[in-house]
Every structure is written in C-alpha cells, then in structure tokens.
C-alpha cells in the first residue's frame, strides 16, 4: 500500500497564530462549560461572597463603623477585592487537576497551539471572576450598598478588578503547576493570600495598626486596589491608588507569567 | 513509504531507572504492530515517545516520515492516542468531550457535533452522551477515550493496553474496531499484556522486557522460534489415555501430559517425520483416534520461554478464571491459533 492511495491530507508544517487563538477560545468554552456543570464550583462561587458579606457586615459593622450601613459602604469595595483574589485560586486548582488528570495528555497529542490550554484556562476564569464580582456587588446592593459615584466609575471599578485578577491568576497558575495535589494548591494559595488580604485596609482602616504593620499595609497591592475601588464606587481619590494597583498588577504579571509559562512547559 | 512508524535506538531514563535501553520498532503501513511485554517493560514509555509526549534521551523516531521531536506538529496531525489512563475531561459530558476535540482540530461547530454523535453511536455511548464523564464506568471511559482518539481520523493510532480491564464482550468490540481501522489503511501500534490479543490482531510482534527488545517477528515466526510444535492426541475412548501416552513417550522421548478432563495427550515434537510411526504404533496398540493434531506452540509457551517464566498476563487478566468466554482459557487461544492440522484417519 502506498501513501497516495490513502485519503489523508499531508500535514501542515506549522500552526497559524489565528488557529492558536481559535484553540484558546475552544478551551475557554470548555472552562465556562465546566463552571456550569460543576455544581460545587458554582455554589462556592456564589455562596462564598454572600457569606462574607453577611458575616462581615453584621459581625464587624457595629464595632468598626458604629453601624452596619456605614460599614457596608466601607467594606464592600474591600470584599470585592477579597472575593476576586480568592477566586484566582481556582485557576491554579483547575490547571493542577488538568495536568494530573490526564486530559492535558490528550491536548498535547493534538496539533494545537501549545499555549492554548493555559490561555483557555485563564480566559475561562475571567468569566468566574465576573460572576463573583456581579454576585458580591448585587448582594451588597440588596443589603443596602449604594454606588455613590456614577455608572461609568462603577464599570471602571469592575474593569480594574478584572485587570488585577488577570495578573494575580498567573501566580495562582504557577502554584498550580509546581504543587503536586489540589490540597497543596489550596494550602500554599491561602498561605500566600491571607497576609495580603488581611494585612491591608480591606476590612478596617489602618490607622489603629502598629507602625510596622502600617508600612506593610501601605505597600500591599491590596491596599491600593481597595482604595481605588472605594474611590470609584463611593467617592474619593482614584488616581494615585489606581496607579498603585495597576503598577502592582503589571509587576505581578511580569514576574509570574513567564515563571508560570516556564513551569507549564516543563510539566507538559 | 511503506513504514508508518520507524524508531531506532530509543533510550529513555527516569532518574536512575532506565525505562528504554535502545528499542527499535517498525510498523508497516496499514498493519498492526503488537508490542508485548510484562508490566514495567517500557511499553508505555515507547508509546509516549512516539506520541510526542516524551522526548527520548537517545535514538530517533519517525511517524510517516516525520520526526517526533523536530516535527511534532506534523506528527500530531497524523496520530491518535488511547492511553492506559483515559485522557478525557471528567467535568464535561461525553458529547462535549468529543465536540471539544473536533473544534480543536478545526472543525466547524456543526461538523464537530455530527462527528461526536456518530462516534458516540459507534461506541454505544449515545445514551450517556449528555452525562458528565465522572459518572461513567471504567469501560465507558475507555470507549470514550477511544472515540476521542478517532475524532481526527488518525493515520497512525496508538492503543496502549486498550482492553486492560474491559469485559470480554467489550474486548471483542475493540478488536473488531481495530480490524476495521486497519482495513481502512490505518496503522495501529498496540501494546498489550495479553498474548491472545497480539496473536489475534498483530501482523508483527515486538516483545519488550526490561526496556529491551528480546524478540521480533510475525506471531508464527515467534512460535516457530520458541520450540516447534506440539502433538495432541485424543483417543476415542478415555480408558486408552494411558496406553496412548506410553506410545507417545516411547516415540518422542519426551514426557507426554495426559489430561483426563479433556481426554487429550500432549507432547512436544521435534521432528514431524515421527508422526507416521506414531500413528502406526497407536493403531497396533489398539488406540482408536478421535483427534490427531500437530500445532505450533502457542504464544503463551513462546513468552514463557523468552522471559524466563514471567507471563505477561500474570496480573489483571480480564474475565478471570472460569468465566465463560474469559480470555484466560487455553481453549480460546488454541482454537484461534494458527493450527496446522494433520487430522487423518489412521490408514
């Protein structure tokens, strides 16, 4: 039998960038489908912000701000930051499961762009972040949160959050690829995130903290991001804190994206 | 081009362990190459190198003329892989798994969907199409994995122990599918621990042990090499069994095995010239014959000789002993064996 008698086309020598983009979108579709079909993920994604809102508003509200409504206005921008940052952990978890679960073997035997599974996972996660932002903001408004600025600023607030999340998820992706098990991803992720999230002005004003902690809070990327969110949602200075958080986002991206890509190339 | 797969001197080390210590493989286009070996022999490592998943530490491999290292992208357009561990997405439904692959291969939404439905039908998964794969049984996952490897109409298909853990019926189905693909011109590299599977499907066999090729050839050549032929005699009456055994012993010089259960006496025969004498002696001894068969040694016997007693199918034999239609039954292997029958009525 000769090759000529077979009804197969000769293989292409390389992949066009457009095809790579198509591959990534197909895998984005896959990630989004998985959110829809995975009930636990969906419940966690929606219930966690609701739980945080209820707990923090009614437990801390009176003690910190002398009333729940005043505290809600203060904490909601912070809780938006917290939910989105915690949600970035999902990127690492999913990549970890994919790589250990064998489906990446399938991807790697297909003639697709090598970066597509990683790109698809991260693009798909943007949808998850949007869901968390929408639920936090929506439920906050049910509890009585009011946007004190205008719709354009509110949209800008959401975009800033998503930009920051897009940078943070590369750090999560790196953890997901370096650590052996999903449990490990959870543990290292929380170990890295808790000091960042709570060592900031996210839930309380930093004035009462000891001096050394205040200096940490000042440089913490969460502080700038939270202040910018407050400015955009309830009024106040926007420019300097927004710049602070964007610079951090850029820095995180520049450091972690190449590391994550390198780890990804090693693992796959 | 006549060889779909050509690998020479493949070496792969994992730390201190040498998984492959210089393996050569050749698969002719449109045939099944059976790679046979016990657990840990290096079969999966070889497949992963040929499927562009692993880089060899030494040697080179070509698929349809394309180098698996430097031309991995071309190779990936030609191959399909069904691994030992099903590479499917647990979180997606069966149909979405297949649609995803079709889309990744550049098919339109409609065509990907149609192809997915067709493959699900072919693998008897239509009813479970919408269910998440994590609810599938082991056999269903295997079938979906097979379907997934066929979405792109591969020219070369790697099946890494495709029937391990399948029930006998699903196994026969997989065999049928492999034969169908080969009839369409697909080249199949099949690794297996089951001798009967290799015997049934493969036109060439490579036996690997400890990362090295210890034998190659067609199933017949291997059987010839490992010790010639076996004579089976069934006396018409069971009480003549001992007398038949005595005749065989005196004429072949080997110790015959008499099995009262099946009523057969078996003895290895070095030289077929002795057969007429045996028939005459049996006749003189008053043994009427129901059956008189000379057959090649089975692959089982070959394997025992090659690996020094380690049967490849020592563990994980599907079907198990005593199960009707199970694969461990010697009868099945012999029935399908290339039997050279010398059944003759005496004189």
Q: Exposed, middle or buried: residue B317 (CB in 10 Å: 0-12, 13-18, 19+)?
A: middle
Give yes or no for B74 touching A (CB within 8 A). Answer: yes
- Mean pLDDT for chain B? 80
User: Above 70 in pLDDT, residue B341?
Assistant: no
Please state which CATH class domain B3-223 belongs to.
Answer: alpha beta
On whether the CB atoms of residues A156 and A232 are closer than 8 A, the answer is yes
Among candidate residues B289, B290, B291, B309, the one with its CA nearest the CA of residue B300: B309
Question: What pLDDT does B306 receive?
Answer: 67
Q: Which residues of B touch A104 (CB under 8 A)?
A: 87
Write down the residue that tokens 């269910």 correspond to: B131
**For residue range A189-215, what is the model confidence (pLDDT) as tens digits?**
888 888 888 888 888 887 788 888 888
Question: What pLDDT does A4 receive?
Answer: 41
> How far is residue B202 CA from its own chain's centroid?
6
| Average pLDDT for A137-162 | 87
Beta-carbon contacts of residue B154 (< 8 Å; ≥ 6 apart)? B78, B79, B80, B186
Question: What pLDDT does B323 receive?
Answer: 34
Residue B337 confidence class, pLDDT cut points 50, 70, 90: very low
User: Above 80 in pLDDT, residue A128?
Assistant: yes
* Beta strands B187-192 and B17-28, pairing class: unpaired
Dist CA A125 CA A88 (whole Å): 8
Residue A2 and residue B1: Cβ atoms within 8 Å? yes
**For residue range A2-43, what is the model confidence (pLDDT) as tens digits?**
444 444 567 777 778 888 889 999 999 998 888 877 777 778
**For residue range B38-81, what is the model confidence (pLDDT) as tens digits?**
777 888 899 999 999 888 899 899 999 899 888 888 899 999 99
Dist CA B337 CA B120 (whole Å): 33
Query: What phi, psi does A42 have (nearest 5°)?
Result: -65, -45
Report the 10 Å Cβ neighbour count for A99.
17
Of A106, A109, A116, the CB nearest to B52: A109
Dist CA A87 CA A48 (whole Å): 10
**CATH code 3.30.70 region(s) in chain B:** 229-296+317-336
Residue B304 confidence class, pLDDT cut points 50, 70, 90: low
Q: What is the pTM of this model?
A: 0.74
* Greatest CA separation for chain B: 77
**CATH code 3.40.50.300 region(s) in chain B:** 3-223
Dist CA A46 CA A133 (whole Å): 10
Q: Which residues of B touch A34 (CB under 8 A)?
A: 89, 91-92
Best interface-test mutation with A: which of B87, B95, B160 has the largest number of A CBs within 10 A? B87
Report CA torsion sign: B139, B141, B144, B149: negative
Residue B179 confidence class, pLDDT cut points 50, 70, 90: very high
Write down the residue that tokens 């697909």 correspond to: B186
- Tell me the nearest-neighbour CA distance from A116 into chain B, angstroms: 10
> How far is residue B225 CA from its own chain's centroid?
18
Of B74, B104, B185, the CB nearest to A26: B104
User: Above 90 in pLDDT, residue B115?
Assistant: yes
What's the distance, Cα to Cα, between the start and end of chain B in Å? 52
User: Above 60 in pLDDT, residue B156?
Assistant: yes
Give yes or no for B104 touching A (CB within 8 A). Answer: yes
User: Above 80 in pLDDT, residue B295?
Assistant: no
CATH number for the domain whose boundaries are B229-296+317-336 = 3.30.70
Residue B90 and residue A101: Cβ atoms within 8 Å? yes
Dist CA B242 CA A149 (whole Å): 104
Residue B92 and residue A102: Cβ atoms within 8 Å? no
- Coil, strand or helix at A110: coil
Residue A103 and residue B74: Cβ atoms within 8 Å? no
Residue B143 confidence class, pLDDT cut points 50, 70, 90: confident
- Mean pLDDT for chain A? 84
Residue B104 and residue A14: Cβ atoms within 8 Å? no
Residue B330 confidence class, pLDDT cut points 50, 70, 90: very low
Question: What pLDDT does A268 receive?
Answer: 62
Residue B132 and residue A37: Cβ atoms within 8 Å? yes
β-partners of residue B233 are B265, B292
| Average pLDDT for A223-232 | 87
Dist CA B10 CA A214 (whole Å): 60
Question: What pLDDT does A25 receive?
Answer: 92
Give yes or no for B87 touching A (CB within 8 A). Answer: yes
Residue B106 and residue A108: Cβ atoms within 8 Å? no
Dist CA B278 CA A225 (whole Å): 96
User: Above 50 in pLDDT, residue B334?
Assistant: no
Among candidate residues B147, B137, B133, the one with its CA nearest the CA of residue B82: B147
Dist CA B146 CA B290 (whole Å): 45
Residue B76 and residue A37: Cβ atoms within 8 Å? no
Residue A1 confidence class, pLDDT cut points 50, 70, 90: very low
- Coil, strand or helix at B99: helix
- Which of A38-47, A120-129, B276-285 has the lowest average pLDDT? A38-47
Mind giving me the DSSP string for A30-72? Answer: HHHHHHHH-HHHHHHHHHHHHHHHHHIIIIIHHHHHSSHHHHH
């Amino acid at each position: 039998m000769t090759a000529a008698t077979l009804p197969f086309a000769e293989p292409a020598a390389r992949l066009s960038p457009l095809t790579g983009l198509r591959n990534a979108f197909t895998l984005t579709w896959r990630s989004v489908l998985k959110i829809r079909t995975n009930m636990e993920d969906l419940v966690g994604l929606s219930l966690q912000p609701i739980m945080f809102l209820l707990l923090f508003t009614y437990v801390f509200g009176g003690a910190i701000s002398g009333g729940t409504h005043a505290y809600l206005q203060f904490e909601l921008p912070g809780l938006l930051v917290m939910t989105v940052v915690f949600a970035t952990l999902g990127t690492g978890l999913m990549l970890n499961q994919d790589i250990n679960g064998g489906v990446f073997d399938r991807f790697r035997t297909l003639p697709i762009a090598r970066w597509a599974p990683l790109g698809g996972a991260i693009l798909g996660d943007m949808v998850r972040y949007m869901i968390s932002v929408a639920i936090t903001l929506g439920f906050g408004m049910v509890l009585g949160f009011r946007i004190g600025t205008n719709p354009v600023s509110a949209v800008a607030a959401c975009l800033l959050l998503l930009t920051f999340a897009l940078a943070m998820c590369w750090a999560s992706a790196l953890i997901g690829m370096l650590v052996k098990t999903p449990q490990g991803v959870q543990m290292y992720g929380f170990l890295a995130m808790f000091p960042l999230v709570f060592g900031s002005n996210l839930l309380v004003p930093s004035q009462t903290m000891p001096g050394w902690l205040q200096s940490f809070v000042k440089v913490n990327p969460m502080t700038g991001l939270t202040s910018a969110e407050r400015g955009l949602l309830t009024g106040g200075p926007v420019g300097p804190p927004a710049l602070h958080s964007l610079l951090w986002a850029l820095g995180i991206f520049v450091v972690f994206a190449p590391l994550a890509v390198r780890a990804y190339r090693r693992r796959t | 081009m006549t060889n779909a797969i050509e690998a020479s001197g493949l070496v792969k080390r994992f730390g201190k362990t040498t998984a492959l210590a210089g393996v050569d493989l050749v698969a002719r286009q449109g045939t099944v190459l059976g790679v046979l070996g016990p657990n840990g022999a290096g079969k999966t490592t070889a497949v992963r190198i040929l499927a562009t998943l692993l880089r060899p530490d030494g040697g080179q491999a070509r698929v349809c003329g394309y180098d698996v290292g430097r031309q991995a992208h071309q190779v990936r357009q030609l191959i399909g892989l069904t691994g030992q561990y099903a590479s499917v997405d647990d979180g997606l439904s069966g149909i979405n798994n297949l649609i995803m692959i079709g889309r990744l291969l550049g098919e339109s939404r409609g065509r990907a969907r149609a192809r997915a439905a067709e493959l699900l039908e072919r693998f008897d998964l239509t009813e479970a199409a919408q269910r998440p794969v994590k609810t599938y049984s082991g056999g269903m996952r295997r079938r979906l994995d097979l379907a997934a490897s066929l979405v792109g109409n591969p020219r070369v298909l790697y099946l890494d122990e495709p029937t391990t853990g399948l029930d006998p019926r699903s196994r026969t189905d997989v065999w049928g599918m492999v034969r169908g693909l080969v009839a369409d011109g697909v080249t199949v590299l099949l690794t297996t621990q089951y001798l009967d599977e290799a015997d049934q499907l493969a036109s060439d066999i490579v036996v690997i042990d400890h990362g090295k090729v210890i034998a190659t050839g067609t199933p017949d050549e291997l059987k010839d090499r490992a010790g010639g032929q076996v004579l089976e005699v069934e006396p018409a009456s069971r009480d003549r069994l001992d007398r038949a055994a005595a005749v065989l012993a005196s004429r072949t010089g080997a110790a015959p095995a008499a099995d009262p259960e099946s009523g057969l006496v078996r003895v290895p025969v070095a030289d077929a010239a002795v057969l007429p004498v045996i028939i005459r002696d049996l006749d003189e001894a008053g043994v009427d014959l129901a059956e008189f068969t000379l057959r090649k040694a089975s692959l089982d016997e070959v394997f025992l000789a090659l690996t020094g007693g380690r049967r490849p199918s020592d563990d994980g034999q599907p079907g198990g002993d005593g199960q009707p239609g199970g694969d461990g039954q010697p009868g099945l292997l012999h029935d399908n064996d290339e039997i050279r029958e010398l059944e003759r009525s005496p004189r």
